[in-house]
Amino acid sequence: MVTPNEEIEVDREKGNFRFQEEHKYDAGVGLTEKTIDYICDVKGEPDWIRDFRKRALKVFESKPMPTNWATKDLDNIDFDVIRYYLAGDNRAKKSWDDVPDDVKETFERLGIPENERKFLAGVEAQFDSEAAYSNIKESVGKQGVIFMGSTEGLMKHPELFKKWFGKVIPTGDNKFSALNSACFSGGSFIYVPPGVKVSHPLQAYFRINAENFGQFERTLIIADEGSEVTYMEGCTAPKFDTATLHSAVVELVAMPGAKIEYVTVQNWASNVYNLVTKRAIAHEGATVKWIDCNIGSRLTMKYPGVVLKGKEARGEVLSIALANDGQHQDTGAKMIHAADNTTSNIISKSISVGEGRSTYRGQVHMPKNLKGCKNNTECDALLINENSRTDTYPAITVRGNKNAVQHEASVSKVSAEQIFYMQQRGLSEGEAMSLSVNGFVNDLTRQFPMEYSVELKRLIELEMEGSVG
C-alpha cells in the first residue's frame, strides 16, 4: 500500500534485464482458433468466453490495419511470429512466501528495497500473462471491494462481469480491441460497491518478459454509485532485439456519482508496439480522470476516452508523451458528450527529442441537442532539436450554440542556445534537457499522485541522459 509520503522506489532502468523463461503453458506462435482453444482450456474458461474470443478473432481478421489514418509502421507487425499466450503458473499468489524466487529476484532488480517489501502487498504484478502476486485483495476485500485478475473475475463474478465486459469498448471498436478480445489474459477486474471509498490506490505493475510475446491484458473497473477508486499501472520492459506487441483494453464504468482515477506511467523498450484502447463511461454526476504518461516504445497509439453519458458527468485526460529517437508517440483523447451539463478537460503535453515524433489526436463530440456542455483542450508540444516533429489533429465537433469549447495549442522549442546557456552553468547536456522537459511538464505533474510524479521525473532524467550522443 502506498501513501503519498512513502513512495516505492522503482528505478525503471533496471527493467532492462531478463531471466531465463520457463513456461508451463505456451500456445506457440501465431493466432488461430486452435490458439484460442488452447488458452480457454488452460484457463478453464466457460464456453461463452470461448465463443466471445472466436467471434473476436473473426473481427480481427476482417478488419484492415488503420493505416489510412495511422502510421504505416503498423504494417511491420508480423502477427504470425507472436506468441499469444504464455504462462508459468496461472494461479495468483497469496503471500510473499508463495512467490517464486525468480519473481522475488525481479522485484529486487526493480530496486524495491527490502524494508519496503511490505508495500508489495499492494502490488499486483503481472509476470507474463498471469498475475504472479496479489494480496491487497484481502485488505480491500473487507470493504467489499473485488480486486482480482480478469480471468478469475469472469469466472467468479460472471453476472457483474458480463454486464459491462465489452460494453464500453465493443470488440469491433478497432482492430486491436478485436485482437485483445480474442486472446486477452491478465489484467485486473475491480468492483467497488456503492459508497465505498477505496483509501489506497490499487496498483499493478506489468512487464513483458518473453521474446516475441505479446501482452494482452484486459482490465475492467466498475465503481458503483458514489464510490471512489484510484488505480495505478506502471510498466517496465526489458529490451529485446525483436519487436514486441502490447495491446491492452481497459474499460471503466463510473456509476452515478462515482469517481475513478486511472494512472499510467509506461516506460517501454524502444521496440515495443503499444496499441491500447482505453475508455470509460461516466454516468450522472460521475467523474473519470485518466492520467497517462508514455515514455519509450517504437509506436504507442493510445487515446483514452470518456463517454459522458449522464448529466453533469465530468471527464478528464491529462497526458504526457515523450518520443525519443526512433520512437513515435501517437496519443490523444476522446470526449464524447452525451448528456447536458457535462464537462471535459484535456491537457496533453508532448516532448519530441532528436528524430522522435509526437502526434496528438483529439476528438471532442458535442451534439446540438445538448446544452451546458463544456470542453477545455490544451495541447502543448516541446521540440528538442530541429529533427523532431509534432503533429496535432484536433477534431472538435460542436453543434448548436449552447455549449462552450476552448482550445489552445502551443509548440515550443529547446534551442541549442538554451542548452548552451544551461551548460555554461555546469549542467551536462542531458541534465539541461531533462531540466527543460521537467519544467515543461511541471504544472501537469503537480496534479499527479506524488510517487508517480517523482518517478516520472526520474524516468525523464534517465531518458534524457540516454538521448545524448
Partner 1 sequence: MSNTLEIKNLNVSIGDKQILKDFSLTVPKGEVHAIMGPNGTGKSTLAKAMAGHPDYEVTSGEVIIDGENIMELEADERSREGLFLAFQYPMEIPGVTIANFIRAALNARLPDDEELNAPDYYKALYAKMDMLKIDRKFTSRSVNDGFSGGEKKRCEILQMAMLEPKYAVLDETDSGLDIDALKIVAEGVNSMRGENLGALVITHYQRLLDYIVPDVVHVMYDGRIVKSGPKELALELESKGYEWVKELAGEVAAS
Binding residues (CB under 8 A) for partner 1: these are 412, 415-418, 420-429, 431-432, 435-436, 438-440, 442-443
CB of 412 to partner 1, least distance (A): 7
What is the CB neighbour count within 10 angstroms for residue 100?
A: 15
Contact predicate 375/366, CB 8 Å: yes
Residue 319: partners with Cβ closer than 8 Å, 6 or more residues away: 290, 291, 292, 293, 294, 304, 331, 332, 333, 347, 348, 349
C-beta of 208 vs 381, nearer to partner 1 = 381
CB of 432 to partner 1, least distance (A): 8
C-beta of 306 vs 322, nearer to partner 1 = 322
What is the CB neighbour count within 10 angstroms for residue 329?
A: 29
C-beta of 95 vs 387, nearer to partner 1 = 387
CB of 428 to partner 1, least distance (A): 5
Matching residue, cell 531465463: 20
CB of 420 to partner 1, least distance (A): 6
Matching residue, cell 499466450: 85
C-beta of 333 vs 382, nearer to partner 1 = 382
C-beta of 155 vs 435, nearer to partner 1 = 435
Looking at residue 213, the DSSP 8-state letter turns out to be: B
C-beta of 242 vs 412, nearer to partner 1 = 412
Looking at residue 169, the DSSP 8-state letter turns out to be: S
Four-residue CA torsion sign, 126, 105, 133, 9:
negative
52, HSE (Cβ side, Cα atoms, 13 Å): 19
Looking at residue 451, the DSSP 8-state letter turns out to be: H
Contact predicate 262/294, CB 8 Å: no
C-beta of 319 vs 375, nearer to partner 1 = 319
C-beta of 56 vs 383, nearer to partner 1 = 383
Determine whether 273 is exposed, middle or buried from the number of CB atoms within 10 Å of its CB (0-12, 13-18, 19+): buried
CB of 378 to partner 1, least distance (A): 15
C-beta of 4 vs 426, nearer to partner 1 = 426
- What grid cell was written down for 34? 486452435
Backbone angles phi, psi at 292, to 5 degrees: -135, 115
CB of 110 to partner 1, least distance (A): 21
Determine the Cα–Cα distance for residues 147 and 124; give it in Å rounded to an integer: 10
C-beta of 155 vs 450, nearer to partner 1 = 450
CB of 202 to partner 1, least distance (A): 32
42, HSE (Cβ side, Cα atoms, 13 Å): 22
CB of 435 to partner 1, least distance (A): 5
Matching residue, cell 489506497: 200
Contact predicate 358/440, CB 8 Å: no
Strands 374-384 and 404-414: parallel
CB of 331 to partner 1, least distance (A): 20
Determine the Cα–Cα distance for residues 254 and 225; give it in Å rounded to an integer: 8
Determine the Cα–Cα distance for residues 150 and 217; give it in Å rounded to an integer: 8
C-beta of 232 vs 441, nearer to partner 1 = 441
Determine the Cα–Cα distance for residues 9 and 369; give it in Å rounded to an integer: 50
Determine the Cα–Cα distance for residues 89 and 127; give it in Å rounded to an integer: 10
CB of 269 to partner 1, least distance (A): 26
CB of 433 to partner 1, least distance (A): 11
C-beta of 211 vs 431, nearer to partner 1 = 431
Matching residue, cell 510524479: 453
Contact predicate 136/124, CB 8 Å: yes
CB of 465 to partner 1, least distance (A): 13
Strands 86-87 and 25-26: antiparallel
